[in-house]
Structure 1
Amino acid sequence: MSERRVSLSRVLLIVGFVLASLNLRPALAGMSPVLDEVMGDLGLSAAGGGAITTVMVICLGVLGPLAPLLARRFGLDRTVMAGLLILATGVVLRSTGSVPALYVGAAVAGTAIGIMNVAMPGVVKQHFPSRIGLFTSVYVSGLVLGAATMSGLVVPLEHATGYGWREVTAMAAIPAVVAMVLWLPQALRRPVAQSAVPRPFRVMLRSRVTWFVTAYMGLQSLTFYIMLAWVPTIFQDAGLPADQAGYMLGLTHLAQMAATLTVPLFAGRARSQVPYMTVASLLTIAGYVGILLAPAASPSLWMIILGLGQGGSVALALLIVALRAPDPASVTALSAVAQSVGYTLAALGPLVIGALYQSSGGWTLPLLVGLGVCVLQLPAGFLAGRPTPPAEKEEKVSPVADPLPLG
């Protein structure tokens, strides 16, 4: 009986972990396929529509670093439980119909996602210490699968149920509630002591590697959230039906998942991650170029290419956080810095692109700006992905001047 209880507890832990991972992107991805409908219903401009995603990503970046403080006070499992509760609340509030509730709900949901983003790698370390690589892959793939599922189903759900954008976007709260129920046994247990104290942020900010990793995280996030917010609208303006435009976003997320399942397994064994980062960046550039020059000609092809590039990029961004920090405490601190600065930078993307679209009257200028960001990702990947030069390994670098070695 005891063994059965242990087995059941393990199953609930794994299923709850998978469902928590799946909940970290639907609230973001589910809004863009119905963005035109939301803008028309509430009288929002293109910039105002883009601001919905911007508000979420700003909160994701600025408030995500609260997670280490909450984890030390309440434990990682209860922090994840609180995040799921806050997420469900924000999604429902966002869907109530008024403009203030739309943005406040987006902020609440973004805060929850930010907290869980930072907490989940710690959950992997705490519960699956001998399977960190496997469950990190599960975690990142869950992010992408959740986004793909929601973005692909929002418009068909409208057609099948007869509901409007409010009801179908509110449905993103359902899996969060289910995940809460399955995670409850973990939250009710006595919290595991958090003995490791991350390095002070003032020390972390003096490291060159912190800024290399943060730049790569921010640039790949920026290109990702531009497309997350505007891909369906771009394709609708190019002549595709609304449901097919939503499918395109779902397709790119599926391509991303293929990359997140495979790229870390190979790149993690390599001495240098630069070749992988270069290929991922070039694929992202190719996807942007295809959408810019011929969006309606081969939309599925552009989305697959873009998805492979962006999926590889996000997987590599999370991988190098672990590879470039010397110990678990430093991984936590580096992750907090990279995600905070990176996602705050990324939050500007949807807003700026929406404003450029509104001022120029088309997608050429906005996509050229996005393409420029993709190009900047190449040198950032070179700096963040390279191993430590032999001369630097032999040199004794002051831990205060540069606490994180290059490899």
Structure 2
Amino acid sequence: MSKERSTTSKGRSGRALLVWGLLVVAANLRPSLTVVGPLLDRVQADLGLAPAVAGLLSTLPLLAFAVMSPVVPRLAARWGPERLLWWALVVLAFGIGVRWVPSAIGLFAGTVLIGAGVAVGNVLLPSLIKRDFPTRVGLLTSAYATVMGAVAAVASGVAVPISQAAAGGWSTAFGCWIVLALAAVVLWLPQVRAPRPAAETIRRHRLPWRSALAWAVTAFMGLQSLGFYVAVTWLPQVFQDSGVSAATAGWLLFLFQAVAVLTSLAAPAALRRAGDQRTVATLSSAVVLGGYLGLLVAPGWAWLWSIVLGLGGGACLVLALAFLSLRAQDATVAGTLSAMAQSVGYLVAAAGPVIFGLLHTVSSGWHAPLVLMCVAAAGQVIFAMAASRGTVAPTDDQTLEPAPSPGRS
């Protein structure tokens, strides 16, 4: 009896450690990206970057997501998802360290490494949740989206104050997030060493390119990501041009993300009450559209539109992440759907900050860029309806060699 209790206790503590590990990994997936927007004008001035070139600081990670995401399922099958995720965290920490160097080369090289590390986490987290917590997908997706959004919001809010108070200015504001990345490296290490079934056979499905539902999920993921990355890159400058200071613009971006975090917490309850993902997804996307229309018509009400965009954006983020698991039959399909949606989706999103900056340069104002965002949000409303129901069928699969078992078998 005592042996059984001991085994149960170890199992519970192991699952608790796994949940904490997943949440700390999630905490590292956005701050190195959202810290850029509030400091973009200073980086431009110090390094002499054109607006379109500066927009690459947000676009390069998205391109890394697009390139890395399709290969993550194959790498996870060969190495094991736990080991692959640990190495991704190491690459992320190294990239933050490289970007701490106050030069254009360090800035862009570090950004590419950060993007590669984050890409692996983006793909693996939905798959790991589907595999290890199949009955709690909505709850844990909401939890990791909330943690991810909360830390991203804090990074935006404290970026300017840190750059003003710390030696090194903006480079220190970028580099200080290495502490969180190293914490994740340490906390995830037990998952790498944990024993796994040595003879487990890995089934790898091809990416579901022929599935209309998979393309709808991909489009929804891409358009909501485009909106998020345009917001964290350019909203501070849009706000400054409406008459607020740089520090206030940073806190308005924090407000946008803080409201999104609260919405992320409320999203699972809203889904349960509505009983229909289509209703919640469509209404949330329509709220995002309303926020961009508001910025277009009355830019002086920046605080109000920050709240509106946060209300819609937080729910859309949870839905986009949840769809990767909810539309899949098992963890393997969730991994391939996640890889497809994030590779193509982030390729779409990557164009957002650059095109937004180019339109601003060409038109000498924010009217044309905000019209673009209204069009993108309207498209998101349409794809929300298509991505909210059904299951992606597995494609033809292949049997691979068993993944290496971490630790002792």
Kindly state the Cα deviation for residue 96 of structure 1 after the two structures are TM-superposed: 1.0
Moved more, 82-91 or 67-76: 67-76
CA contact (8 A) 2:127 2:334 kept: no
Specify which of 176, 183, 189 is matched with residue 184 of structure 1. Answer: 189
For residues 5-34 of structure 1, give each alpha carbon's deviation from its aligned partner in whole angstroms, at most 9, with x where no partner exists.
Answer: 666655543333221111100011011110
The question of 1:102 aligning with 2:101 is answered no
Q: Could you tell me which of 75, 79, 82 is aligned with 1:77?
A: 82
Q: Counterpart in 2 of 1:344? A: 347
Of the candidates 193, 196, 205, which is equivalent to residue 199 of structure 1?
205
Write the distance in 2 (CA, Å) between the matches of 1:207 and 1:330.
12
Letter aligned with residue 289 of structure 2: I
Q: Secondary structure at the match of 2:360?
A: helix
Question: How does 1:71-220 map onto structure 2 within 5 Å?
Answer: 71-191=76-196, 195-201=201-207, 204-220=208-224
Render the CA deviation track for 1:39-89: whole Å, top value 9, x for unaligned. 111110100111111011110122123322222222222222111111111
Q: Which residue is 1:28 aligned to?
A: 33
The alpha-carbon distance between structure 1 residues 279 and 97, as it changes in their structure 2 partners (threshold 3 A), is same
Q: TM-score normalized by structure 1?
A: 0.89
TM-score (norm 2): 0.88
| Structure 2 residue matching 1:64: 3-state secondary structure | helix
Cα separation, 2, equivalents of 1:292 and 1:15: 41
5+ unaligned residues in a row in structure 2: which ranges?
Answer: 397-409
**How is 1:30-69 mapped onto 2 (pairs within 5 angstroms)?**
30-69=35-74
- Listed as ranges, the matches of 1:312-351 within 5 Å are 312-351=315-354
Q: 8 Å contact 2:256–2:309 — kept in the other structure?
A: yes
Task: Judge conservation of contact 1:140–1:260 (CA < 8 Å) in 2.
Answer: yes
> Sequence identity of aligned pairs in percent?
38
Superposed CA offset, 1:306-325 (max 9, x none): 01111111211222232323
Identify the residue that residue 285 of structure 1 maps to in structure 2: 289
Letter of the 1:288 counterpart: Y
- In structure 2, C-alpha distance between the alignment counterparts of 1:133 and 1:316, rounded to whole Å: 9
Residue matched to 1:360 = 363
**Pair 1:228 & 2:232 matched:** yes
Aligned length: 390
Tell which deviates more after alignment, 162-171 or 245-254.
162-171
Is the partner of 1:197 in helix, strand or coil?
strand
2:176 is matched by which residue type in structure 1?
M
Partner amino acid, structure 1, of 2:375: G
Task: State the Cα RMSD in Å.
Answer: 2.4
* Corresponding letter in the other structure for 2:299: P
Following TM superposition, by how much is the alpha carbon of 1:345 offset from its aligned partner in structure 2, in angstroms? Answer: 0.6
- The 1:123/1:328 distance shift into structure 2, 3 A limit, reads closer
Indicate which of 254, 257, 261 corresponds to 1:257: 261
> Which residue of structure 2 aligns with residue 394 of structure 1?
none
Contact 1:32 1:232 in 2 (8 A): yes
Structure 1 unpaired stretches of 5+: 389-396, 402-407
2:244 to 226, 236, 240: 240
Aligned partner of residue 24 in structure 1, secondary structure: coil
Could you say if the C-alpha distance between residues 153 and 125 of structure 1 is closer, same or farther in structure 2, counting changes exceeding 3 Å? Answer: same
- CA separation of 1:141/1:53 partners in 2, compared to 1, >3 Å: closer, same or farther? same
- Give the Cα separation in 1 of the matches to 2:372 and 2:135: 43
